[in-house]
Amino acid sequence: MTIRLSAAIERFPIAGNFTIARGSKTEAVVVAVRLEQDGHIGRGECVPYARYGETPQSTLAAIEALVPAFAAGMSRLDLQQALPPGAARNALDCALWDLEAKRAGTSAAALAGMTPPQHIETAFTISLGSPDEMADAAARAAHLPLLKIKLGTPGDAERLGAVRAAAPDTRLVVDANEGWHPDDLPVLLDICAHCRVELVEQPLPAGADGALVEINHTVPICADESVHALAGLEALVGRYEAINVKLDKTGGLTEALAVAARAEALGLSIMVGCMVSTSLSMLPARLLASRARWIDLDGPLLLEQDRPDGLVYERGMIAGGASPLWGG
């Protein structure tokens, strides 16, 4: 049956700025999708990422190229073949989940055969900065249960020590965003272990992560840039203890669920992650929370303002329950 597809680039200012090893930004640029069928509306959102060769304009063009296919009744199964994993497919896939749930008078969680937790503990991200800047940010967030510390440039040992001193009782995970060198990794991992870091995310460039086989993992290591979708998942075994599942990488909830199941079968733990984006991106990812050991769905907390009817955050917890924004 005919589905009317429309999409647009939207911008959401970030509260302050967001800095990682690859640079800083002051706004989240997303592509929002709207699908209409028989009076029902399904919505989705994605974040094009330059690291993966995506731009907002190219993503919007890839989505709009499928207007005729959706007018002819494209299904989620059809979509998996029409586009590769990535941002464009994510927005469309999530919008189809939302549309299907609304047409069926149920929730996306029910369609997936899942019951999301009523309360979800999420990490809160501390941007890369000087040791003093990061310590100040960590002190302000020390009441939260889990902080994600952005590292990946010279001086990381001092940064991490300053953060741990400022938030002595808070659980920590570290994300180096491919910024460390194999020769420095054993020492940096030992420092992480000393600072009681639970997980180190993507310490080495994706093309250099073969070195992870040769070192002692004093802290569990999580793949992010090294894993996108189902293809290549088996190659991570022996290099990583965990993977970061992001819907913008998997190309939507459909493949993300398959990635999580396959990762579990391979003995890999799961982190559910996100780009800096609104609750329209977080709500589909929230369905993976029950399968994840670490949850990093703090995107809306980094914005000056979220979408209406967004998720409710309180002291590092995401409240459960239905939302009219996505998924029912």
Show which of 57, 84, 106 is a domain's final residue. Answer: 106
Looking at the structure, do residues 95 and 149 belong to the same domain, yes or no? Answer: no
Looking at the structure, do residues 183 and 266 belong to the same domain, yes or no? Answer: yes
CA distance 179 to 114: 36
Cβ 316 vs Cβ 121: under 8 Å: yes
HSE at residue 225, side-chain half, CA atoms within 13 A, is: 20
**Predicted local confidence at residue 78, as pLDDT:** 97
Domain span including residue 33? 4-106
Full 3-state SS string of 86-104: CHHHHHHHHHHHHHHHHHH
Q: How large a percentage of the chain has pLDDT more than 70?
A: 100
Looking at the structure, do residues 19 and 64 belong to the same domain, yes or no? Answer: yes
Looking at the structure, do residues 57 and 173 belong to the same domain, yes or no? Answer: no
Answer yes or no: is 114 within a domain. no
What is 32-85 written as a DSSP string?
EEEEEETTEEEEEEE---GGGT--HHHHHHHHHTTHHHHHTT--HHHHHHHS-S
If pLDDT is split at 50, 70 and 90, which confidence band does 118 have?
confident
Looking at the structure, do residues 255 and 131 belong to the same domain, yes or no? Answer: yes
Full-model pTM: 0.96
**CATH number of the structural domain spanning residue 300:** 3.20.20.120
Looking at the structure, do residues 38 and 88 belong to the same domain, yes or no? Answer: yes
Show which of 106, 129, 160 is a domain's final residue. Answer: 106
Q: How far apart are the first and last CA of the chain?
A: 22
> 148 catalytic, yes or no?
no
Using one digit for the tens of pLDDT, what is the confidence trace for 245-271? Answer: 999 999 999 999 999 999 999 999 999
**Predicted local confidence at residue 116, as pLDDT:** 79
Answer yes or no: is 325 within a domain. no
> 102 catalytic, yes or no?
no
| Angle ∠(211,214,220) on CA atoms, nearest 5 | 85
Cβ 73 vs Cβ 2: under 8 Å: yes
**Predicted local confidence at residue 47, as pLDDT:** 98
Average pLDDT over residues 193-200: 98
Residue 319, pLDDT above cutoff 90: no
Residue 321, pLDDT above cutoff 80: no
**Predicted local confidence at residue 322, as pLDDT:** 80
Residue 71, pLDDT above cutoff 80: yes
Show which of 106, 130, 145 is a domain's final residue. Answer: 106
The amino acid at residue 69 is: A
Answer yes or no: is 85 within a domain. yes
| Angle ∠(51,56,58) on CA atoms, nearest 5 | 90
Answer yes or no: is 328 within a domain. no
Instruction: Give the chain's domain count.
Output: 2
Range from 63-77, 93-107, 111-125 carrying the lowest mean pLDDT:
111-125
Using one digit for the tens of pLDDT, what is the confidence trace for 19-58? Answer: 998 899 999 999 999 999 999 999 999 999 999 999 999 9
**Predicted local confidence at residue 28, as pLDDT:** 97
Looking at the structure, do residues 154 and 266 belong to the same domain, yes or no? Answer: yes
Left, alpha or beta for 113 (phi > 0: left; psi -120 to 50: alpha)? left
Using one digit for the tens of pLDDT, what is the confidence trace for 134-147? Answer: 999 999 999 999 99
Set 102, 148, 246, 249: catalytic member: 246
Looking at the structure, do residues 156 and 84 belong to the same domain, yes or no? Answer: no
HSE at residue 179, side-chain half, CA atoms within 13 A, is: 19
Looking at the structure, do residues 150 and 101 belong to the same domain, yes or no? Answer: no
